[in-house]
Amino acid sequence: MNILVTGGAGFIGSHTCLALLEQGYEVVVVDSFINSNKKSLDGVIEILKFNKTIKNIPLEIIKADIRNEKLLDKLFLGYKKSGKPINAVIHFAGLKSVKESILNPLNYWDVNVNGSITLLRVMDRYKCKRIVFSSSATIYGYSNKKSFNENSEIKPINPYGTTKVAIEQFLNDVYLSNPKEWGIANLRYFNPIGAHPSGLIGEAPLGVPSNIFPYLTQVAAGKINKLNIFGNDWPTKDGTAIRDYIHVMDLAEGHISALQKLNENKIMTVNLGTGFGTSVLELVNTFERVNNIKIPIEFTSRRQGDCCRVVADNTLAISSLGWSPKRYLEEMCLDGWKWQSLNPKGY
Ligand code: UD1
């Protein structure tokens, strides 16, 4: 199977490319590299060579923006003519900063929504009707529930979230137009952290990270002097907010399970999380313990738009995908730190 991975050089994308190649898929990456680095894919190749699992690594890398319809068309046509048509797409490409999306909604709607429409138009033209879409738990109306299932209220509070909802709805309409042919999976991620245990690929945000885990690893590396914890007055056992952290390799494997399920034509929308809640202090304590590093912290006020508890009900993922998360918080902290300490400047 020849799989197109848009945004395949990003954090989740690169780990998913690795998992795909390990499972014998052929992979074509389309990435604009505006928020990612081609070196992540060099890392993927290095891991595969080291493991000696594959002799000729079937990975093609193309620099392109998914809004470039002509280029996408040429790509699909080229693969069709070569007798190896693109069979399915895993669609990561998109902008993902909450803050930026509030400042520049036009750009977010253009890249995320128009980009997805362009991609689907080309897929449709070439009768490629399998897509796994990278959605987010950020679309739930955060309400401090014990956990969110796929039927929980959808109520995004920023343009990043509204573009994810719009794409899910658009994909649903596409599916309904021809349910006998389309196979679509919307995967709603919770908080992916960690890295591949080799330390060769990982998360490399540009500038100061806004998510907690890369921020924490940069504090551990001495690049930032302390971790600000946003609020210690949440109604939780230690006063800090609770999230569902999931190892990026578990998340990557979830994409392959979803892809395999799309052989039956259907649409599915599935949470990918562990179902376990971890407070900010528990995350920091675990990181300190497994890596034997002290993290200086300071409690500050709550961050605007934050909420107390966001944890997945992952029952549907387990029953419908035959997937389950396998890696504990300890591994996320060990692997994430290995990546940061071996690559202090990222890629
Ligand atoms: C954030 C985004 C969400 C996005 C997700 C993944 C917001 C409000 N939400 O989710 O839309 O899908 O990232 O990219 O931005 N924290 C600190 N100190 C820090 C950073 C974070 O205490 O320096 C806390 C936060 O308050 C939160 C937890 O750590 O309780 C996790 O934060 P973060 O990694 O930013 O993820 P989310 O807020 O869950």
SS3 content of the chain, % helix, strand, coil (to 5): 40, 20, 40
Alpha helices in the chain (DSSP H): 11-22, 39-51, 69-81, 98-103, 105-108, 115-125, 159-177, 212-220, 248-261, 280-291, 315-321, 329-342
Structure tokens, 35: 């928020």
Q: How far apart are CA 166 and CA 77, in angstroms?
A: 28
Is 109 within a domain?
yes
Q: Identify the residue whose tokens are 């494997």.
A: 253
Q: For a ligand 1 pocket test, name from 155, 158, 191 the mutation site with the most ligand atoms within 8 angstroms of its C-beta.
A: 191
Q: Which of 203, 133, 196 is nearest to 163 (CA)?
A: 133
Is 285 within a domain?
yes
Tell whether ligand 1 has an atom less than 6 A from the beta carbon of residue 138.
yes
Sign for the pseudo-dihedral over CA of 161, 163, 165, 168: negative
Is 126 within a domain?
yes
Question: How far, in Å, from the CA of 239 to the mean position of ligand 1?
Answer: 16
pLDDT exceeds 70 at position 53: no
How would residue 264 be classed by pLDDT, with cut points 50, 70 and 90? confident
| Residue-number span of the structural domain to which 243 is assigned | 2-342
pLDDT in tens, 10-38: 999 999 999 999 999 999 999 999 999 99
- Mean pLDDT over the full length of the chain: 96
Question: How far, in Å, from the CA of 84 to the mean position of ligand 1?
Answer: 41
pLDDT exceeds 90 at position 1: yes
Is 237 within a domain?
yes
Using CA positions, which residue lies closest to atom 23 of ligand 1?
A: 212
Using CA positions, which residue lies closest to atom 35 of ligand 1?
A: 211
CB burial class (10 A; 0-12, 13-18, 19+) of residue 81? Answer: exposed
- Atom nearest to 215 CA in ligand 1: 23
Backbone angles phi, psi at 239, to 5 degrees: 85, -5
pLDDT exceeds 80 at position 55: no
- Mean pLDDT is lowest, of 64-73, 165-174, 205-214, for 205-214
CATH number of the CATH domain containing 275: 3.40.50.720
Three-state DSSP class for residue 136: strand
Q: How would you list the strands of the sheet with 26-31, edge to edge?
A: 59-63, 26-31, 2-6, 88-91, 130-136, 183-189, 267-272
Q: How is residue 153 annotated by DSSP?
A: P
Alpha helices in 91-211 (DSSP H): 98-103, 105-108, 115-125, 159-177
Residue 92 has a pLDDT of 98
pLDDT in tens, 288-338: 999 999 999 999 999 988 999 999 999 999 999 999 999 999 999 999 999
How would residue 142 be classed by pLDDT, with cut points 50, 70 and 90? confident
Tell whether ligand 1 has an atom less than 6 A from the beta carbon of residue 181.
no
- Tell me the catalytic residues: 160
Q: How far apart are CA 195 and CA 205, in angstroms?
A: 13
Q: How far apart are CA 188 and CA 195, in angstroms?
A: 19
Rounded to a whole number of angstroms, the distance between the first and last alpha carbons of the chain is: 29
Tell whether ligand 1 has an atom less than 6 A from the beta carbon of residue 211.
yes
Bridge partners of residue 289, in order along the sequence: none
Is 347 within a domain?
no
Q: How far apart are CA 272 and CA 253, in angstroms?
A: 10
- Cβ pair 198, 192 in contact under 8 A: no
Number of domains, the chain: 1
pLDDT exceeds 80 at position 229: yes
Question: How far, in Å, from the CA of 212 to the mean position of ligand 1?
Answer: 6
